Amino acid sequence: MDPDAAKVLRRLTRYGHTAYLVGGGVRDLLLDRTPKDFDVATSALPQEVRRLFRNCRVIGRRFRLAHILFSDGKIIETATFRRDPAQRIESLPGVIAPGIPLVRGPKPVKLVPITDGSADEDLLIRNDNVFGAPYEDAVRRDFTINGLFYDLERGQVIDYVGGMPDLLHGVVRSVGDPAVRLREDPIRILRAIKFSARLDMGIDPDLYDAIVRHKSDLGRAAKPRLLEELLRFMRGGAGHRSYFLSWDTGVLAELLPELAAFLDDDAPEAGLTWARLALIDAMHAQGELPSDAVLLSALLLGPLEEAIEGVRDPSRAFEDFMFELTQRLTLPRRLKDRVRALLASQRRLRSGKLGTLPRRDYFPEALALFMIDHQARGEKVPDWAFQESGVSAAPSRRRRRRRTPR
């Protein structure tokens, strides 16, 4: 348990507010994993939190969140309990004697949508900025394993949604009807895949079927969020399994049809894509994750090289390949240009004729991509590459030639 998160929980409780550790922090602690962050849910309103903590700032327009800042750069995100205005709860969950440090309702809370949920109805969440009670906050979360609360004062896990059994059995299951929950927020499709891959859990059959059935709804999600989740697949150390699940469910064909078609061919070059993803996962395990530009380049290297191979104008072919992808995912121009530079440098790196390449600011990233690709092919990385990776860790500046006075 993070001591600063504990400090936040204790102060909120001391001043009469209900406060629990929530979400991924509880899940990861129960799985004996190190949480990436610790989030707090409380009955205190954002301005009340701000009055209790001098190191607090309130952010957000649509939904106000309190960020409590600490000297080491850590942020404890504190949110007021919310509820989903589009759903009602059929019966309030009772609390039973724990026996073990677990408090829960006699059975998982049943959600009843206020809308009829017809196929042509727009269920996309646009406003959930409504404060509520703890059990209402739990049932508005995406998956049962993310709907657990931890009461620090009593040392109890509070489960309103049946998350503990799913955690113990290794199952990613939606809170409520999976079809409705995915249509409310299609990003949940990618989150389900991410949690299944990263936590090595199975996907509940009903949720899996809903993912396959509603994958086209991803076109309605915010495009920057789509790109961020695709990058998180690789940043989290489970890129290989995440992209395999995406390909298997047809999700990849919705977001990256260029890559999906390339993998469908099942050619040796397609196998290299899976090998690169496995190497990136290994790098993550060693704490050596490369930049987003290298991650995206390694992912798309196969179909990109196939697209520019043998053409008279590789630059134009690159632009044609990236045009629809950029529109689909709102790829930042800076990131696209960096991918172009890394791709263009690979031929020179493979020939070993570097010329002025080591003086380019992107050279360390180009070299990282070269080494990933080389190892994916089962080839020995040249000694000069290891030497350059040490020497060129920081970009060098090109010296200006002094003009000779006439």
Please answer whether residues 35 and 28 qualify as being in contact, where contact means their C-beta atoms are separated by less than 8 angstroms.
yes
Give the span between the Cα atoms of 355 and 348, in whole angstroms: 9
Confidence (pLDDT) at 390: 58
Among 264, 224, 267, smallest CA distance to 246 is for: 264
**In angstroms, rounded to a whole number, what is the distance separating the alpha carbons of residues 240 and 274?**
6
Q: Share the mean pLDDT of the chain.
A: 84
User: Which CATH superfamily is 225-391 part of?
Assistant: cca-adding enzyme, domain 2 (1.10.3090.10)
Residue 63, pLDDT score? 72
Residue 395 has pLDDT above 60, yes or no: no
| pLDDT band at residue 101 under the 50/70/90 scheme | very low
Of 41, 30, 31, nearest to 5 (Cα)?
41
Whether pLDDT at 404 is above 50 = no
pLDDT confidence bin for 369, thresholds 50/70/90: very high
More confident residue, 105 or 23: 23
Residues 6+ apart with CB under 8 A from 347: none
Nearest to 20 by CA among 164, 137, 195: 137
* Short-list 34, 2, 49, CA closest to 21: 2
Rounded percentage of the chain residues whose pLDDT exceeds 70: 84
- Which among 265, 285, 241, 282 has a CA at the least distance from the CA of 376? 282
pLDDT of residue 351: 84
**Cα separations in angstroms, 125 against 43, 89, 122, 367:** 23, 18, 9, 43
Which sequence spans correspond to the domains of the chain?
3-175, 225-391
More confident residue, 173 or 380: 173
Find where tokens 């059990």 sit: 135
pLDDT at 120 over 70: no
CATH of domain 3-175: 3.30.460.10
| Rounded average pLDDT over 344-361 | 87
Q: Which one of 84, 137, 142, 373 is the catalytic residue?
A: 142
pLDDT computed for residue 384 by the predictor: 76
Cα 277–Cα 293–Cα 275 angle in degrees, nearest 5: 15
Q: How far apart are CA 345 and CA 340, in angstroms?
A: 9
Q: Is 177 in the active site?
A: no
59, pLDDT greater than 90: no
What was the pLDDT predicted at 386? 72
Lowest mean pLDDT among 50-64, 101-115, 243-257: 101-115
In the predicted model, is pLDDT for residue 278 greater than 90?
yes
Q: What is the structure's pLDDT at 128?
A: 52
What is the mean predicted confidence (pLDDT) over 369-376?
A: 92
Looking at per-residue pLDDT, the higher value among 95 and 167 belongs to: 167
Extract the runs of DSSP E, i.e. beta strands, from 46-177: 56-59, 65-69, 75-80, 87-89, 102-104, 111-113, 148-151, 156-159, 171-172
How confident is residue 391, by pLDDT bands cut at 50, 70 and 90?
very low
DSSP of 202-269, one letter per residue?
Answer: EEPHHHHHHHHHHGGGGGGS-HHHHHHHHHHHHHTT-HHHHHHHHHHHTHHHHH-HHHHHHHHTT-HH
Question: What angle (nearest 5°) sits at the alpha carbon of residue 164, between those of residues 163 and 170?
Answer: 85
Q: Check if 128 is active-site.
A: no
* Structure confidence by residue, pLDDT tens digits, 244-276: 999 999 999 999 999 999 999 877 788 999 999
- Of 39, 151, 166, 373, catalytic: 39
DSSP string, 251-315: HHHHH-HHHHHHHHTT-HHHHHHHHHHHHHHHHHHTT----HHHHHHHHHHHHHHHHHTT-S-HH
Cα separation, 279 vs 285, in Å, equals: 10
Q: What average pLDDT score do residues 170-183 get?
A: 93
According to the model, what pLDDT value does residue 1 have? 85
Give me the pLDDT at residue 291, please: 95
Cα-to-chain-centroid distance, residue 210: 20
Res 95 pLDDT > 60: no
Q: Let me know if the fold of 3-175 is the same as that of 225-391.
A: no
pLDDT digits (tens, 9 = 90+) for 304-348: 999 998 888 989 999 999 998 998 999 999 999 999 999 999 988
Q: How far is CA 94 from CA 98, 99, 105, 135, 236, in A?
A: 12, 15, 5, 10, 37
The amino acid present at 367, given as its one-letter code, is L
The predicted pLDDT at position 111 comes to 43
Predicted local confidence at residue 93, as pLDDT: 46
What does the pLDDT read at residue 258? 93
| Amino acid 118: pLDDT | 52
DSSP lists the bridge partners of residue 131 as 82
Give, in order, the Cα–Cα distances in Å from 384 to each of 161, 196, 352, 369.
56, 40, 9, 15
Distance, CA of 47 to CA of 325 (rounded, Å): 42
What was the pLDDT predicted at 347? 87
Active-site residue, from 37, 128, 177, 209: 37
